[in-house]
Structure 1
């Protein structure tokens, strides 16, 4: 089958690889009908994620049709149309029973490798390094899905792929980011970044009772999407001082809740630190950028909450923990417990409360994926979200 494979920094290729097979009685095989390039995939593309190996199949936002079913699978049948969450979860460990699916104790076969870096291993993830399981990803014609009775959700007839595909990751991720804020009725929520996850965080903040949502970015098309689809007020961080503008908007108090929906590949409005980090990257030394997190700490009101759905991949220097401690800020973060949100968010789609397809700007085949990775990474051609149809 065809699949998108990582071959090094900024080197994604279309390879012919072996078709997946049932390896465990709890597996299913799906024929992928739609899959997407995620902002997190750019961390792989830019060489930020350790333990990638040449030839690894990437991608963690797939859906498709069940083609084969393991003997132990009870909830799915051949022909079912499903969305597959990016987190692999056993469903019965301590963390899964607490609905903390991205912390599953059983699904990462390389847990020892992850524990050496993190202290403990999170769940295995599709297409996201050997440290997180080495599972083949979903930017491919077919995909093996372990723990099939725990992960995939069946999709009702009549709903197009575009409306439900993002249940695999970015819609639940944006929702959990807003939920982690602990939004109280009428709160002001500031969202750094206007990429796909941020767009769903904005939508979700309204769902959870926000009184005001402010979106921060520098890309005109992203800011426009936040205004038109997200009904957010916006700040262009290269044209305005974010701290001063947020203080003006909140009478000096600061936003109640802040969301860092950017993560490791943040940009700053100039400054020595960004120049240094850019120089490191020019010689292929990855740098996790603290710009957004530092700014959110400065801007958040005293006693407020900072939610971090943006992915960081290693140690982060330059985070102002002193101000965070003295302002009594609460931090919540983590990979998304996708399975927890699948049914309620699917219901919102069915009811017409949201049509997640609004974020799609680019489409292509697997053969076009390497070039679309470049387009997405460079944010050229007004690219916000790429969907691939194998």
Structure 2
């Protein structure tokens, strides 16, 4: 089969690789009909995440048709149409029973390495380093889905791939980011980053009844999409984020702040951004946390910081004293996808939201390597890429 594979920093190739097979009775094999490039994939493309090996298959946002099932998998049958969440879940451990699916205790087959790095393992993830299990990803013609009797979302007839594909990652990620804010009708919700996750967080905050939603970015196409979704845009290259947020909140600051950027903040003009890039260059820091610093500073006392953006390692110069003394609540983590998918699928069916709005580019799988650069560099108005194997 054909698949997009990692061969080092900024080196993604479309290679011929062996077809997957059933390895465990709970497995399924899915023929991929649509997959996507996620902002988190760019952290691998840019070489910021440890644990990748040459030839690893990329991708964790995909869906398709079941073409084979293990003998103990009674939840699926050949021909079922499914979205596959990026978090692999057993459905049986203590964390899964609590709905904390992204920290499933059983699905990371390299859990000893994760335990050493993080203190305790995360769930296994598709296409996302050997620290999370080294599972082949979904930017491929076929995927083996382990624990497939639990790791799936069945899709009913009448919905296109484009409407439901993002149930596997960015839609529940944006939704969880907003839910973690405990939004009240009087709240201003400020969202840093108007990429795909930020766009979903914007619409989620609107659906959850925020008084006003503010989107902070610098790419015109992203800001216009945010405006269309009900947000007030702030272009941080043209105006002061601090001054504009003060104006919008009568000097009090937003009650809720969402970091949809993560470890690769692209701000360049501030001193702290220069500091972060210098420390990265000499391997004294792994992530660029400008957004976290800014959120701590502007958030209203007793507010909430929600962090769906991925961080991979060590950050520096975080004003934690300000966070503590302002009484800020931090909520973060990889997405508990299956906690939200039933509700979100219903909202799609009811017409409350059509997540396909975020798609700007649809190309064949073979064109994936070039689209990584287009997406990373925000060229050609690119906001979200869908690949068709």
Query: Aligning the two structures, in what range does the TM-score lie when normalised by the shorter sequence?
Result: over 0.9
Matching residue of 1:331 = 330
Post-superposition Cα deviations, 1:154-186, rounded to whole Å, max 9, x if no partner, equal 111121100000001000000000001111122
Post-superposition Cα deviations, 1:346-367, rounded to whole Å, max 9, x if no partner, equal 0100111100000000111111
Distance between the aligned counterparts of 2:79 and 2:230, measured in 1?
39
Find out whether 1:6 has 2:6 as its counterpart.
yes
Conservation of the 8 A alpha-carbon contact between 1:238 and 1:269: no
Distance between the aligned counterparts of 1:285 and 1:367, measured in 2?
37
Find out whether 1:352 has 2:358 as its counterpart.
no
Matching residue of 1:150 = 150
Conservation of the 8 A alpha-carbon contact between 2:286 and 2:312: no
Conservation of the 8 A alpha-carbon contact between 1:48 and 1:286: no
Matching residue of 2:94 = 94
Conservation of the 8 A alpha-carbon contact between 2:285 and 2:314: no
Conservation of the 8 A alpha-carbon contact between 1:47 and 1:286: no
Post-superposition Cα deviations, 1:106-133, rounded to whole Å, max 9, x if no partner, equal 0001001011110000100000000100
Distance between the aligned counterparts of 1:286 and 1:42, measured in 2?
18
Distance between the aligned counterparts of 1:282 and 1:141, measured in 2?
37
| CA RMSD, Structure 1 to Structure 2 (Å) | 1.3
The structure-2 alpha-carbon separation of the partners of 1:283 and 1:34, relative to structure 1 and needing over 3 Å to count, comes to farther
Distance between the aligned counterparts of 2:208 and 2:201, measured in 1?
10
Where do 1:299-378 residues align within 5 Å?
A: 299-378=298-377
Post-superposition Cα deviations, 1:55-77, rounded to whole Å, max 9, x if no partner, equal 00010000000000110111111
**Unaligned runs of at least 5 residues, structure 2:** none
Conservation of the 8 A alpha-carbon contact between 2:255 and 2:303: yes
Tell which deviates more after alignment, 144-153 or 81-90: 144-153
Per the normalisation by structure 1, the TM-score is 0.97
Conservation of the 8 A alpha-carbon contact between 1:6 and 1:12: yes
Matching residue of 2:238 = 239
Distance between the aligned counterparts of 1:120 and 1:287, measured in 2?
20
Per the normalisation by structure 2, the TM-score is 0.98
Tell which deviates more after alignment, 171-180 or 271-280: 271-280
Tell which deviates more after alignment, 114-123 or 262-271: 262-271
Distance between the aligned counterparts of 1:181 and 1:243, measured in 2?
20
Matching residue of 1:74 = 74
SS where residue 194 of structure 1 aligns? coil
Matching residue of 2:48 = 48
**Unaligned runs of at least 5 residues, structure 1:** none
Where do 1:220-235 residues align within 5 Å?
A: 220-228=220-228, 230-235=229-234
